Amino acid sequence: MQISMWVPYDENQLRRTLQFILRPQLRLIRVLGGVLVALGVALLAVKPLSSLAYVAMILGLLFVVAVAPITVALSMRMQSNVIRDGFHMTLDDEWVTLTYPLAESRFRWAGLGRAIETPEVWYVMFGKLQAITIPKDPMTEEQRTTFAAFVNGLQPAGK
């Protein structure tokens, strides 16, 4: 397999990738927020004028509603300016190579944890928090089919 393509910078795709990576951690925070809201409601039922109940409900609502967008926004701001020029991606039988104008990253397929396919991209995971987004738009239909078969052959059954 030898696929080579130019990938322009896409802020919306970067945001979706960050949401994908952060989803497990943010899910736990939302659950904790729900528990705090329930605790606040229970405290209000027992002691209607309890300030602790209102604090628990407000914190719980913040955890459920506000933490995820704030975390993604902060993560977006923390990204290096190097990525804003787009990059050249090369996929071959041994490596994923990302070449930016000012930097280069290479990952061996042997380190692949899992690959998740969506209608727009593949998220190729090298660990729990390291994901490479491989967009489908710059690829031809033949390249998509070749890559899908290649990455499916790399993953253990059930992943």
Q: pLDDT tens digits for 86-130?
A: 999 999 999 999 999 999 999 999 988 889 999 999 999 988 878
Q: Answer for the pair 72, 18: CB distance below 8 angstroms, yes or no.
A: yes
DSSP SS3 for 155: coil
Is the pTM value of this prediction over 0.95? no
The pLDDT-based confidence of 156 (bands split at 50, 70, 90) is: low
Domain boundaries, the chain: 2-8+85-154, 12-78
Residues 6+ positions from 53 with CB-CB distance below 8 Å: 39, 40, 41, 42, 43, 44, 47
Of 140, 148, 138, the C-alpha closest to 6 is 138
The topology under which CATH files domain 2-8+85-154 is PH-domain like (2.30.29)
Cβ(3)–Cβ(91) below 8 Å: yes
pLDDT band at 158 (very low <50, low <70, confident <90, very high): very low
Residue 132's pLDDT is 92
What pLDDT was estimated at residue 159?
Answer: 47
So what's the pLDDT on residue 82? Answer: 86
Q: Are 90 and 97 in contact (CB under 8 A)?
A: yes
Per-residue pLDDT, 154? 82
Q: pLDDT for 16-55, tens place per residue? A: 999 999 998 899 999 999 999 999 999 999 998 889 999 9
pLDDT at 142: 95
Q: Which DSSP letter does residue 79 get?
A: S
Determine how many CB atoms are found less than 10 A away from the CB of residue 78.
8
Residue 98 pLDDT: 95
Q: For the residues 148-157, what does the mean pLDDT come to? A: 80
